[in-house]
Each structure stands twice: as structure tokens, then as C-alpha cells.
Amino acid sequence: DAKTTQPNSMESNEEEPVHLPCNHSTISGTDYIHWYRQLPSQGPEYVIHGLTSNVNNRMASLAIAEDRKSSTLILHRATLRDAAVYYCILRDSWETSGSRLTFGEGTQLTVNP
Amino acid sequence: KAGVTQTPRYLIKTRGQQVTLSCSPISGHRSVSWYQQTPGQGLQFLFEYFSETQRNKGNFPGRFSGRQFSNSRSEMNVSTLELGDSALYLCASSVTSGKIQETQYFGPGTRLLVL
């Protein structure tokens, strides 16, 4: 799997937007970009995924650079509940990887009241 | 729908013992994957089961094994426990539509402490 690089930690204030960056310079043309997060004392949970175009869902937005070498997860209004470790994960073909997720170290997001 | 459930939630064992952890996937999900999470190594993939067959395996010694039953429930077993096996063991399930976009749903994990 291609490698991703994320900052170890980021801090935000409640009700402000948060932009979590991820670099993936070796991404291949068919790799999907997935984001998961892990709240304290819980298993990871899916946030969003995309291939080329920007994506929005009820949790967040994903902005993908035109060359796909980086992406940004955007939380539009951070809440205390968004404090978690955020993982940016690249997934290649299902035939080779199946359901496997390769987690990096992720970004620890702290949200201040 | 009920989420992924894992039992037990907490477990204490001693070195040399063996342990069996259980995972019940979301109803209708046919794939179950297991992960180990430690402070030093982070989240690491152990193996994946689909239709009672191991489909994918991570880089762990043979002491770690698993199986899947016809109802998709899965168990993982660790034999001859070592101190380094202390970790949070997470189970994830998915529908397995054969698409890489497929979402993995994680359980709360089983925290194993080896003394």
C-alpha cells in the first residue's frame, strides 16, 4: 500500500473549522483515499472516502488535490466529540487488499472548549 | 441494526496461557477482519475471514489464529501468550461487495492484559 503522512497532532477550538492534511505522494491512479477516526476507548469509525473529486457527507468534507498527492479532511464546525485520532488510509484494489486497512500513526485532534 | 459486538471486553491472562476472543459482525456482513492495537505498533491487521475461509493475513506469528463460522461470527485465538500480546484487539465487519470503497465497521474491542 502507498504511504501516507499526517501531522502527529493538531488543535482546534470548538465550533471552528478544522483542516486535517494528508500527504500521499506515491498514490496510484486507482487508490481510494479513506478517512477513519478513533474516538477515545472506541474502535475506529468511517468518516469519508474519495477518489478524485471532492466529497461531502454529514460528518465531513474531503478535498483532494488535483494531482492527488495530498488531501484534506475538513470538519466544518468542530465539537468536543470530534476529539479523536484521524487516520488517512489509501486502499488499492480489492483483489489484492480485500477488506484490509493499513493504518498509519494518524493525527490526534484536540478540540478546546 | 446492532453494531459489531466483541466479547469479552476485558481479559487478564498470564504468560503461556491461551485466549479466545469472539466477534459477532453486523447482520448480513460476511467479512470479518481482526486488528491488534498497541501503543508502540499502532493498529495492525491480523487476518480477514470471508465465508469461513481466511482470505488475507498480516505479518503475525502462527500463535495467532482465527476462524469463522457459517453464521459469519468469528473467533481469534492466541496461544502461548507473551507479555507483548497485551493489546486492544479489534474486530471489523463489512458486507464484502467486492468494492474497495466498502466501509469497515469496527467493534469496541477486547482489551487483553498478559501478566
For cell 495530498, what's the residue? A70
By mean pLDDT, which of A3-17, A55-69, B66-80, B90-104 is the weakest? B90-104
Per-residue pLDDT tens for B2-59?
A: 899 999 999 999 999 999 999 999 999 999 999 999 998 999 999 999 999 998 899 9
Tell me how crowded residue B54 is: count the other CB atoms within 10 A of its CB.
Answer: 13
Phi-psi region of B39 (alpha: psi -120 to 50; beta: other; left: phi over 0): alpha
Task: Tell me if chain B has a CB within 8 Å of the CB of A91.
Answer: yes
From the list A36, A93, A99, the residue facing B48 with the nearest CB is A99
Q: Decide: A7 and A105 in contact? Cβ < 8 Å.
A: no
Q: DSSP class of residue A96? A: H
pLDDT at A30: 86
From the list B58, B101, B104, the residue facing A32 with the nearest CB is B101
Task: Tell me if chain B has a CB within 8 Å of the CB of A59.
Answer: no
Chain A residue closest to B107 (CA)?
A: A43
In whole angstroms, give the CA distance from residue B89 to residue B109.
Answer: 5
Relative to beta strand B19-24, strand B5-7 is antiparallel
B50 to chain A: which residues are within 8 Å by CB? Answer: 98-99
